Chain A
Amino acid sequence: MDIKELLTPDFAITWLPWAVQYFFLIGLAYTSVWIAAIAVLWPGQRQQRLLTLCGSLIFSAAIVAPVALLADLHQPLRAWHFYMQLRPDSWMWFGAWLLPVFMGSGLLFGYLLLRPSLPTTATDRWSQLGCWLRFGRWSEKPLLKPVAVLAFLSACSIALYTGIETMAVQARPLWHSHWLPPLFAASALLAGSGMLVWLNFLFKGHNTNTDRYLLLWLRAAFTLFGLLLIGWALAGGKSAAEARMLLSHSPTWQLAAIWVLSTLAVLALLLATSRQPHWLLLLAGFAAVHLAWGFRWLVLIQAQTDPKYGAGTYFYELPWGPEGLLGILGTFGLWLALITLISELVRQTAMTQEGAA
């Protein structure tokens, strides 16, 4: 018996590109907390350059991510409603509590990481602001380790809740898989280390040791992501079956698969090269960031075009306005402004360190 749909309504997506921005930016924040915390806690790994870069990324991403999340609520001014009752069955409700804790611990950790790089003497306006942000003369050293532990745990809670919140939706077979949370986390780690490679290049005082260290992270994250993806494809149950079904008839999904596979192949080649010229590493960093963002786009936006009852796929066309392109560019713009500001504040110490070296 053949069934042909003649008349069924189209269905607009509900989670907008803001959600992709949130998942992407919060991924940058929690993975840079991981990288920095491990560097702080692991004996012999502490490298001020890496810590400064992580601090900048944590600080900027952890501030912009919640803005994107708030924008994805269609009634952002009602966000306080989350806190007015107990909803222990809802992972989103847990997230509403875990996120502010992460903002607190992550931003404090980021600040402690950045503080040694803030200027000590005021020579111009920027350095004056930097001096002022040191909040007096005290040493952050004794605080660093306990705050690192706290921020690390809090970062884990964010990785956990963002993953499970999505995985919990049984009505979307593509999401309802245990492979999804670790895939989100591994791709976030890819994006985090890739972005740090770029910050190392863009912030004054490029350090090749930091590059070498970040390359290790990139390779580890890539291997993890690749293995998880293979695991999902082979043992992903209904989630993988749904993806195969979509691949069999939807040109958009076929294109997506080609994109994922070719990005993975390029990244594998770039990371496998043993003697990495700097530009190759930068390219790998870019590919990693690109893969992680695109993965979130596929999972969060494109998966919503998969009808729950009907055949085929729904339409989605990226709108120009705040609910589409403008929202994406706006969040990136805000993040860029913040990270530029931070880079200006830590610039002078990079210069003096360079002079001293």
Chain B
Amino acid sequence: MDTSKRRLLGQIAAITAGAVFIPLAEADGDSTPTKGKRYGMLIDLRRCVGCQACTVACTIENQPPLGQFRTTVNQYEVTEGDNSAFMMLPRLCNHCENPPCIPVCPTGATFQRQDGIVVVNNDWCVGCGYCVQACPYDARFLNHETNTADKCTFCAHRLDAGLLPACVETCVGEARIIGDLNDPDSRISQLLTQHRNDIKVLRPSMGTQPRVFYLGMNQAFAERIRGEAPVRTLMTASGKELHHGH
């Protein structure tokens, strides 16, 4: 990104600073249990270059079917006056503190672990898709191969083995930081405190209390995007393009 673009992003951030910033305290809510671990992720958008290394790493680690993603990096062009800049927004399940995907599940297949990670028991899920409808972030999908609900698990299997999630491990800009929110000395807790006034979550109006936090995000991206849609392409399972349009 050239300096003028970087300056523009800085200006945009400055313009919208102040009243529109959602203080961490508000986004945070107060229902985080104080005992035990509570995983959360901080994504420093200032460091994300949109290389999709996380998308690829996640796909290799978790093997979702072609065209389905547990995490991706959305890319936007932001224009103000004559200036425009790119904005990268990594997206994944927010492992919400108040996740609307859980109460709707008619079988209890989707649940929250003690450490806050929201997971799906694929042997029990009936594939009704109710949780997919209920998630306000389009973070879930019905896996075309397993025919059950699927989503990011913070790579719980890796965390349990003492490893970092594949996306965190591979991020070239070290933009993704995962850690224990209940430990005041963890890097994520310290960064959250340090940048207290510049931390945002997605769609705070939905009351989900996400535990994926964004640093350096413009307020225009907090709620639903109002803008021009991308050229979307519809592909068959074999990758043949069927149709495209806005």
Contact = CB atoms under 8 A, between A and B. Distances in A.
Interface of A: 1-12, 14-15, 72-76, 78-79, 81-82, 84-85, 87, 89-93, 95-96, 165, 168-172, 304, 307-315, 317
A168 B133 CA distance: 10
B107 A87 contact: yes
Given A3-B78, A81-B107, A307 B138 contact: yes
Contact of B104 (A14, A79, A89, A311): A89
B202 interface: yes
B142 interface: yes
Nearest to B88: A7
Contacts of A304: 133
28 contacts: A2-B78, A3-B226, A5-B225, A5-B228, A5-B229, A6-B75, A10-B67, A10-B232, A12-B142, A15-B129, A73-B127, A74-B126, A75-B147, A78-B127, A79-B126, A85-B107, A85-B108, A91-B104, A92-B106, A92-B128, A93-B106, A96-B106, A169-B104, A309-B136, A309-B138, A309-B202, A311-B226, A312-B232
B228 A75 contact: no
Contacts of B78: 1-4
Contact of B74 (A2, A8, A90, A172): A8
A85 to B, nearest CB: 5
A279 B186 CA distance: 76
Given A73-B128, A308-B135, A87 B234 contact: no
Interface of B: 12, 67-69, 72-80, 86-87, 91, 100, 103-109, 124-130, 132-138, 141-142, 144, 147-148, 202-203, 206, 218, 220-221, 224-230, 232-234, 242-243, 245-246
Contacts of B127: 73-75, 78
Contacts of B245: 315
B66 to A, nearest CB: 12
Contacts of B242: 317
Given A2-B79, A90-B103, A170-B206, A81 B126 contact: yes
A206 B83 CA distance: 73
A5 to B, nearest CB: 4
Contacts of A317: 234, 242-243
A308 B206 CA distance: 11
Given A6-B77, A169-B133, A310-B225, 18 more contacts: A2-B227, A3-B221, A4-B78, A5-B229, A6-B76, A7-B230, A9-B67, A9-B69, A12-B141, A74-B127, A75-B148, A87-B107, A90-B104, A92-B104, A93-B106, A170-B136, A171-B136, A312-B228
Given A4-B77, A74-B142, A170-B206, A308 B126 contact: no
A1 B242 CA distance: 33
A81 B76 contact: no
B100 A312 contact: no
A90 B227 contact: no
Contacts of A314: 232
Give the 8 A-B CB pairs with smallest separation, nearest first: A312-B229, A74-B127, A3-B227, A14-B129, A74-B147, A89-B103, A93-B106, A171-B136
A171 B134 contact: yes
Contacts of B103: 89-90
B135 A74 contact: no
Nearest to B138: A308
Nearest to A2: B79
B126 A3 contact: no
Most buried by A among B126, B128, B225, B230: B128
B220 A3 contact: yes
Most buried by A among B107, B108, B147, B148: B107
B224 A309 contact: yes
Contacts of B234: 10, 315, 317
A58 to B, nearest CB: 26
A173 to B, nearest CB: 9
A310 B109 CA distance: 28
A312 B230 contact: yes
Contact of B228 (A3, A84, A95, A169): A3
A288 B243 CA distance: 33
B124 A81 contact: yes
Most buried by A among B127, B132, B133, B228: B133
Nearest to A19: B129
Contacts of A310: 74, 138, 224-225, 229
A200 to B, nearest CB: 37
A305 B137 CA distance: 14
B105 A87 contact: yes
A87 B134 CA distance: 16
A339 to B, nearest CB: 28
Given A1-B220, A3-B77, A310-B225, A171 B133 contact: yes
A218 to B, nearest CB: 32
Nearest to B78: A3
Contacts of A7: 73-75, 230
A223 B234 CA distance: 40
A165 B129 CA distance: 12
Most buried by A among B72, B76, B79, B245: B76
